[in-house]
Amino acid sequence: MRFRKSAHAIYKTEYHLVWIPRYRRKIFAKGVKEYTEKILSHIPELYPDIELVKLNVQEDHVHMVVVIPPRIAVADAIQYIKTQSAKKLKAKFPFMQKTYTRKGGIWSRGYCVSCIGLNEKEILAYVEHQEKEDKGQLQLTLP
């Protein structure tokens, strides 16, 4: 995985996200699972700052590995992903409108998030090569 650059930061913020449908119902049967994967794989098109690394939809829960820039709160990103996917799932599958009332929603309120960090070898390599990168970016010649 590579470092990303924004206007004022260099970051490598990967998160493992897991969440479940309300009441942990096994709603991801054959057609629903494929459609859910399709929706979630297109989240970066709706929210370009989020990068999807890996996706796995199980029968009763979802796993995602995503890169979220430091300027975006993880909770906000998860809320956006869950909201957008729930709208599309309810529109596509009428049984979900009956199963999950408007008030309750498809997804459970909670989620699990863990950081995927750097290992020591990557940190040491970054520190070692940072000086070379900095010197390459700033080359002034004085008269």
Reduced to 3 states (helix: H, G, I; strand: E, B; else coil), residue 99 is helix
Displacement of CA 129 from its chain's centroid (Å) = 28
Q: What is the pLDDT of residues 16-26, one digit of tens each?
A: 999 999 888 88
Question: Highest-confidence range of 70-74, 129-133, 135-139, by mean pLDDT?
Answer: 70-74
* Residue/partner pairs of 105-110 with CB below 8 Å, 24 or more apart: 105/22, 106/21, 106/22, 106/27, 107/19, 107/20, 107/21, 107/22, 107/82, 108/19, 108/20, 108/21, 108/22, 108/23, 108/24, 110/19
Domain residues for the domain of 77 are: 4-137
143 lies in some domain? no
Residues 2-61: pLDDT tens digits?
Answer: 788 888 888 888 999 999 998 888 888 888 999 999 999 998 888 888 999 999 999 899
- Rg (alpha carbons) of the chain, rounded to whole number: 20
The confidence band for 130, taking pLDDT boundaries of 50, 70 and 90, is: low
Which is more confident, 79 or 127? 79
Task: Note whether 34 and 71 are within 8 A (CB).
Answer: no
In a domain, 62, yes or no: yes
Question: Looking at the domain assignment, is residue 80 inside a domain?
Answer: yes
Domain count, the chain: 1
Residue 74 in any domain: the answer is yes
Predicted confidence band of residue 136 (pLDDT cuts 50, 70, 90): low
Look at residue 70 and tell me if it is in a domain: yes
In a domain, 142, yes or no: no
Establish if 30 belongs to a structural domain.
yes
Q: What percent of the chain has pLDDT over 70?
A: 84
Q: What is the pLDDT of residue 10?
A: 84
Query: CATH number, domain at 132?
Result: 3.30.70.1290
**pTM listed for this prediction:** 0.77
pLDDT of residue 75: 95
Q: In this structure, is residue 72 part of a structural domain? A: yes
- Provide the pLDDT confidence category of residue 137 given band limits of 50, 70 and 90: low
